[in-house]
Amino acid sequence: MAMTHTIEIGGGFDIEARAEIEADIVKFREMLALYEAGEIDEDRFRVFRLNNGIYGQRQGGRNQMVRVKLPYGSVTPEQLEVLGRIAEKYSRGWGHITTRQNIQFHYVALERIPDLLGELADAGMTTREACGDTVRNVTGCHLAGACPFEVLDISAWAEATFRHFLHHPYAQRLPRKFKINFSGCSTDCGQAMFNDVGVVAVARPLPDGSVEPGFRVFFAGGLGANPHPAQALEEFTPREQLMETIEACLRVFDHYGNRDNKLRARMKWLLDTMGADELRDRILRERKFLVASSSWVGGVPEVVQERGDAPAGVATGIDPSPVGRYVTLQRSDPYQRWLDANVVRGVAKQTVSAVASAPLGDITSHQFRELAAIQRELRCSVRTTNRQNLVFRDLTEDQLPLLYQRLAAIDMAQPGAELARDVVSCPGTDTCNLAVTQSRGLAGAIGDALEQAGLADVGGIRVNISGCSNSCGQHHTSDIGFQGVERRAHQTAAPGYQMYLGGHVGQMEVQFGTKALRVPAKRAADAVVSIVGRFAAERTAGEPFHMWLARSGGATALAGELKPLDEWPTPDDAPEFYIDYGEQGPYVAEVRAGECAAT
């Protein structure tokens, strides 16, 4: 494979990085051969393949899930074409956008993975450290550099972080996985507030009356069965100190994380064992002396100096608070509705961005290829979002009608960004060993129910679903969240959900949803329709869901009103209640040995 790529943001590898990726592929072939020959046991090979982004599926056997890292969601036309080819050649004709801006392919035969990795490398992509006890994909605002609220464009900073930690010695065998997120402003579209390290661009006033842009770094957040809000490390971290600050957080986690109990190994558990103040002091001490390390990155990284981090700019009169920014669709023309819901404009850089809707994050091989063609035709950039869509950036106003026409032709022009129909779901029991419910099936049912009720266009309300307690669907942070659970009714196992209400992220705060009630899987969509309908009828102009919920009595009050939905008919009267979405036979909660233990 010729080493021809010069690294661009999200666009490839330099010569040194390319050599490392090629070495990974050679080693994968060698390790796979040793495993097939019985010379490496299952446990050792599992750790190896996870560190290379290859994850076992529920179906077992040779079926594997392949997770491709897209740092902060950035993707080129050439990469979209390769992703489409991989979906068709190695998988089942489609790929899946994750809530961490990766692309996943399922049902890939183990013996074909080295060839797949080679095709990714040719396009400047890797699966390295996309799974396992590593530094995972570095995520960031999908509108970074195009957002009217940002303090800094975090794109180059996320790129620098990705480059620094890929193959970094401290990023390989951590106590557990380690997640880094970037947000360009306090709105926190990058979801910094529930990750191991969350970076939010902020500004501080200087004595001469000017302001200095920099960052506020948060640490030890996490979701899973026991969600923890991230803690602020210090009031302000200068740009020159950001990289060493992130590495100091990683090193402290590596030194003190629990290596004996995976269920208590994430950085968030250090808050419980040593407390926030002690953990903060250890990080700051580590940073102070990091200059003595060969991996120390001092000053502003080269890629940031080259690419810049100037913000898109805030228009006069724009309030960067969340109130008043929720979409309301009032026009009937499909194109106008798409403009209202899916288009965002920056000011200083005159940016125009538009979201392409990918329901449940699924993209077919044909859609991948067409998206590449659209990107080339419009000469724009594209990123995946943490709500499992894509966004076209660097557009002009004149290009919007053509973009809409092209997206409509491939069924990706639905006005769904930030509307009720934009439901997020984990893979659930389709492929995951840990899931207990068909979360994707429920997501589809909720979308259909909202459409039928005329509520799919309601803005300012998010629905997220996880098939188990591990929160891969981020149900704790959404307005309406569902966690898959096994229920028993009339002495019979049945699929159900625990509903959470009022979760939200923003203004450098996170509020996890409050438990409301448990409902049968087949009545969860009815619960959503009831809540969304009432919210749409009762909210004041621009009122966020969590504020409406508070003045409506909170999760407990709504749970009481919805309690009739938690009544179970007998299996004879309604056998469908005892069969999960997309299944043919009776429900069985079959939890297998998980490889992520996503806590």
Contacts of 165 (CB under 8 A, 6+ apart): 129, 135, 138, 171, 180, 250
What is the reported pLDDT for 351? 83
Reply yes or no on whether the pLDDT at 43 is more than 70: yes
Q: Examine residue 110 and state whether it is found in any structural domain, yes or no.
A: yes
Do residues 232 and 261 share a domain?
A: yes
Q: Look up residue 28 and give its amino acid.
A: F
Band (pLDDT 50/70/90 cuts) for residue 320 is: very low
- What's the pLDDT score for residue 129? 97
Strands 514-520 and 509-511: unpaired
Q: Which residue has the tokens 């299944």?
A: 583
Quick check: 459 pLDDT over 50?
yes
Tell me, yes or no, whether 151 and 296 share the same domain. yes
pLDDT band at 58; cut points 50, 70, 90: confident
Q: Which of 382, 412, 378, 363 is nearest to 83 (CA)?
A: 363
Instruction: Quickly list H helices, 487-587.
Output: 521-538, 545-551, 554-562
Which of 357, 374, 409 terminates a domain? The answer is 409
Task: Kindly state whether residues 172 and 32 are assigned to the same domain.
Answer: no
565 within 8 A of 519, measured Cβ to Cβ = yes
Weakest mean pLDDT among 76-90, 163-177, 409-423, 557-571: 409-423
Model confidence at 571, in pLDDT bands (50, 70, 90)? very high
pLDDT(38) > 60: yes
Q: Is the domain of 405 the same as that of 473?
A: no
Candidate from 67-71, 98-102, 429-433, 562-566 with smallest mean pLDDT: 429-433
Residue 314 inside a domain? The answer is no
Q: Is residue 131 part of a domain?
A: no
Three-state secondary structure along 21-56?
HHHHHHHHHHHHHHHHCCCCCHHHHHHHHHHCCEEE
Strand order in the sheet with 492-501: 424-425, 463-466, 480-489, 492-501, 514-520
Name the β-bridge partners of 68: 103
Q: What is the pLDDT of residue 11?
A: 54
Which pLDDT belongs to residue 327? 57
| Confidence (pLDDT) at 6 | 31
The mean pLDDT value of the chain amounts to 92
Give CA separation, 420 vs 417, 480, 543, 555, in Å. Answer: 9, 10, 15, 19
Q: Answer yes or no: do 384 and 431 share one domain.
A: no
Q: Range of 523's domain?
A: 424-578
Are 437 and 546 in the same domain? Answer: yes
In three state form, how does the secondary structure of 157-208 look? Answer: HHHHHHHHHCCCHHHCCCCCCECEEEECCCCCCCCHHHCCEEEEEEEEECCC
Task: Say whether pLDDT at 315 is over 50.
Answer: no
3-class secondary structure for 74-85? Answer: EECHHHHHHHHH
The percent of residues in the chain predicted with pLDDT above 70, rounded, is 93
The structure tokens 């960031």 sit at: 140
Residues 488 and 520 in one domain: yes
Predicted confidence (pLDDT) at residue 99 exceeds the cutoff of 80: yes
In the chain, pLDDT over 90 holds for what percent of residues? 84
Q: Are 362 and 483 in a shared domain? A: no
Residue 502: which residues within 8 A CB-CB, separation 6 or more? 479, 511, 513, 514, 545, 546, 549, 550, 554, 555
pLDDT classification of 144: cutoffs 50, 70, 90: very high
Whether residue 596 has pLDDT greater than 70: no
* Residue 555 forms part of a structural domain: yes
Q: What is the pLDDT of residue 4?
A: 30
pTM, 2 dp: 0.93
Say how many domains are in the chain: 4
The predicted-structure confidence for 222-269, as pLDDT tens digits, reads as follows 999 899 999 999 999 999 999 999 999 999 999 999 999 988 999 999
pLDDT in tens, 511-556: 999 999 999 999 999 999 999 999 999 999 889 999 999 999 999 9
Q: Same domain, yes or no, for 166 and 285? A: yes
> What confidence category does residue 142 fall into, taking pLDDT thresholds of 50, 70 and 90?
very high
190 domain-assigned:
yes
Distance CA 163, CA 124 (A): 12
* Alpha carbon separation from 345 to 143, 314, 348, 372 (Å, rounded): 10, 10, 10, 22
pLDDT the model gives residue 345: 84
pLDDT of res. 75:
98
Claim to verify: residue 376 and residue 457 sit in the same structural domain: no
CATH of the domain at 291: 3.30.413.10
417: in domain: no
**125 φ/ψ angles, rounded to the nearest 5 degrees:** -125, 155
The DSSP string of 316-376 is: TT---SSTT--------SHHHHHHHHHEEE-STT--EEEEEP-GGGEEEHHHHHHHHHHHH
The CATH number assigned to the domain holding 21 equals 3.90.480.20
Residues 497 and 402 both lie in one domain:
no
100 and 166 part of one domain: no
pLDDT given for residue 88 in this prediction: 98
Classify residue 589: in a domain, yes or no: no
Could you report the per-residue pLDDT of 187-196, keeping only the tens digit for each?
Answer: 999 999 999 9
Considering the domain boundaries, does residue 322 fall inside one? Answer: no
